[in-house]
Structure 1
Amino acid sequence: MSSALFVVLVLPPLAALHHYVWRRMIRDTTTRGSRTRRAATALLILLGVLLVAAPPGERMLPKPLASALGWPGFLWMAGILYLGIALLAGEAIRPLLLRVLRRRAERVAPVANGERGKEGRITTDPSRRLFVCRSVALAAGAAAGAAVASGARTALGPPRLERITIPLSRLDPAAHGFRLVLLGDLHINALSGRGRTALIVDMINAVRPDMVAIVGDLVEDGDVADLGTVAEPLGELRAPHGSFFVTGNHEHFSGARQWIDFVGRLGIRTLENERVSLPGFDLAGVNDVSGEEYGEGPDYEAALGGLEPDRAVILLAHQPVQVHEATRYGVDLQLSGHTHGGQLWPFNHLVGLANPTVAGLDSYGDTQLFVTRGTGFWGPPVRLGVPPEINVIDLAATRA
């Protein structure tokens, strides 16, 4: 996203959300001019600045500085989201609490002169309103904090090994049981550590795959010079039929050529609009659709033209939406990522608006599409309700 679009489309609602949080969490719970209000306001402004600065900082700053800036900035990105949701839920609770407290006061407290409103009922006491505001703010803060903590623990913890068998009608029976591991959206960034990459590699090698497929967004935003050491353990992947890679949108944002060259030095082959022959099937790969802006877009004809009618073909394509072209060319199975399974509730219910499949296995005509939830995260190091995963796919031949 360009700077101009960011200023026009993102900053106004982000500023409005911060103002709303300030009103409910700070203004309504503190006294005017108090040190607490001034300090809390300053902290909120600082967090907002860090949030805005964290994404460009990933691309422009050295990794140690980008990491120091990114941890509070990206965590606050998730924090203010859930704080806003919790406070909005609190809007429905607030009048109910006030009503309960008012009725209790009517029953147990004597009514002094001047304490009744026009209808003869006790008016809302300022201290009572302050109590309700503080109670709702405390509950909202606790709920948001718990959501972010739980999501961060999930995102930063080890991914799950998810196993699935996918039958292919044109798969050569000799390839029955061929095991491939699907790795997507590792999103190496300023918050990533080399140890996590090594853990993922160990988990993959432990299942003894015949092949490894990496379906894009290996990197989030950054250069090989800054992030290459984090990705280096991928060179230890072990599979007798090799490891293959296709670009995702973030490779193109970061400079795809440097990352293609880098993974090549690790022994991972990038399929750039091409296909190779493997035992029992063909494996094809196309560039991500975002590469069109850089003159490196997908070329389906180059990768899929002239397919043999009785030979299965598996396509690696970063975005699920590319399945429409895969169907047109008669692809048996497309493997994709990109969606992260939604990553953050409630976005897991919204990403389906832009993607035909959010996660798992679907069919489109004679073409099957499998979408991994991925192992990494974009932006906030938080996955709520969407755990990271590595997919172990066993191919099954259905013809004798």
Structure 2
Amino acid sequence: MKDQMTYFSILVTSVVLISWAIICWRMIMPLKVRRLTKVSLAGTLLLGLVMHQITRMYVREGLPVELPAFVRWGGYLSFGFVFLVMPFLIAKEILQLWGRKIIAPKGSVNGARRAFLHNAGNAIVMATALPITAFAVEEAFQTPVVKKNSLPISGLHPDLDGITIAQISDLHVGSILDKTWVDSIMQQVQGLHADMIVLTGDAIDGQVSRVGKELASLETLTAPLGKFFVTGNHEFYSGVEPWVEQMRALDFTVLNNEHTLVQKGNGAMLVAGVWDYHGARFGTKYTSDPFAAKANAPEHDVSILLAHNPRNIYQAVQAKYDVQLSGHTHGGQYFPWTYAIHLFQEYVAGSYTVEDSLLYVNTGTGFWGPPMRFTVPPEITLHTLKRA
């Protein structure tokens, strides 16, 4: 798995450098300014991307020193800005190429005119990307939207009708988000007075030794029917076993291919959880297995699977779970990933019915990487079990 992560890091670095080179070539070099100004702009952008690489090492590998906030912010914003600019730049280049071939025959536009149109197009790209970046940063830090979702279950036991479940997911505390932010989210969740609280993975970005203290207020959460946690891929990146113990220390029931029975009156609800979908990459004992999570389960009236990745739904259907609650996708988080995510995930956001099972995908309470969200606000979900 370490080799796979190394290859992924090399791929990300290569894509970042290629994107930087394209922006320099097509946007910075054509500017009608002094050469020193061009070099300064290119160098500033490159410095920001270097900060991003340093931040990735800080978050994933754990550097021995505290990384200043301006480095983390500068790195993530540079990365986010580059990948926001690129699709607009590519679209502009295609339009200009089409315009030269179709609208303006060869030789009908002189060099000066062509340069003006090129820079004007770049100006439009920047005029689009900069405001979106600003709005995206503001949206990332807004108070999470509480989305209310009904879970209709055929023949649900009357004593379970109306049970509420508060779901948070993908906090990603440790890169930019910190204890102050976590404290405010926990107050909001507690204020929902849900019967049960679930955290469906990716609570953190970083090792327990650095980030553990940031999650202290999770221990203050209380719910009559308990609070539950399952691992996401980022817990594995940051040392899964220490994080499992840390979440238990915060009074969460951690479900690793396990289940527990929750009683209310005469109604019985099976709550099961699995390791992250890709856990097996870190060792076969971490294989995500909805069947194992339900093995030898006692009699129950409804079964709920907590699984970080929506892809677990295919096995969950076979194992006959009534409900699966997931996260992971962030709904794409911001353009262009809000569209690209559909190339990798069939189930991206909100409610789905998959054969006889219900699936809900929370789009994330925090954010990963760039502190940006655009058209996908942070979310806390309040589920209600209903008798269908």
Q: Which of 277, 283, 303 is the equivalent residue of 1:313?
A: 303
The reply on whether 1:2 has 2:5 as its aligned counterpart is yes
For residues 227-252 of structure 1, the C-alpha deviation after alignment (integer angstroms, 9 at most, x for no partner) is: 12221111111211111101111111
Map of 2:166 onto structure 1: 181
For residues 95-142 of structure 1, the C-alpha deviation after alignment (integer angstroms, 9 at most, x for no partner) is: 79999xx9xxxxxxxxxxxxxx9x8x6x6253x444333322222222
Does the CA-based 8 Å contact 1:166-1:396 persist in structure 2? Answer: yes
Q: Cα distance, 1:187 vs. partner? A: 0.9
Does the CA-based 8 Å contact 2:164-2:383 persist in structure 1? Answer: yes
Tell me the SS of whatever aligns to 2:384.
strand
Q: Cα distance, 1:303 vs. partner? A: 1.6
What is the percentage of aligned positions where both structures have the same residue?
30
What residue identity is the alignment partner of 2:174?
Answer: N
The reply on whether 1:322 has 2:312 as its aligned counterpart is yes
Does the CA-based 8 Å contact 1:219-1:251 persist in structure 2? Answer: yes
Q: Cα distance, 1:308 vs. partner? A: 5.6
* Matched pairs, number: 377
Question: Map of 1:71-86 to 2, 5 A cutoff?
Answer: 71-86=73-88
Q: Which of 218, 230, 234 is the equivalent residue of 1:234?
A: 218
What residue identity is the alignment partner of 2:279?
Answer: G
Q: Cα distance, 1:341 vs. partner? A: 1.0
What residue identity is the alignment partner of 2:150?
Answer: T
What residue identity is the alignment partner of 2:219?
Answer: G
Distance 1:36 1:168, change over 3 A: same
User: For the residues of structure 1 that align with 2:188 and 2:354, how far apart are their CA atoms?
Assistant: 31
For residues 144-187 of structure 1, the C-alpha deviation after alignment (integer angstroms, 9 at most, x for no partner) is: 11111111111122110001111112432111110110111111
- Give the alignment's Cα RMSD to 1 decimal: 2.5
Map of 2:274 onto structure 1: 286
Map of 1:43 onto structure 2: 44
Tell me the SS of whatever aligns to 1:161.
strand
User: For the residues of structure 2 that align with 1:310 and 1:193, how far apart are their CA atoms?
Assistant: 39
The reply on whether 1:387 has 2:377 as its aligned counterpart is yes
Q: Which runs of 5+ in 1 are unaligned?
A: 103-116
What residue identity is the alignment partner of 1:323?
Answer: I
Question: Map of 1:122-271 to 2, 5 A cutoff?
Answer: 124=110, 126=112, 128-220=113-205, 222-271=206-255
Q: Cα distance, 1:74 vs. partner? A: 1.0
Q: Cα distance, 1:216 vs. partner? A: 0.6
Tell me the SS of whatever aligns to 1:350.
helix
Map of 1:111 onto structure 2: none
Tell me the SS of whatever aligns to 1:393.
strand
Distance 1:137 1:350, change over 3 A: closer
The TM-score, its normalising length taken from structure 2, stands at 0.89
Q: Which of 248, 251, 259 is the equivalent residue of 1:275?
A: 259
The TM-score, its normalising length taken from structure 1, stands at 0.87
Distance 1:195 1:91, change over 3 A: same
Q: Cα distance, 1:63 vs. partner? A: 7.4
Stretches (4+) displaced over 6 A: 95-99
Q: Which runs of 5+ in 2 are unaligned?
A: none
User: For the residues of structure 2 that align with 1:310 and 1:203, how far apart are their CA atoms?
Assistant: 31
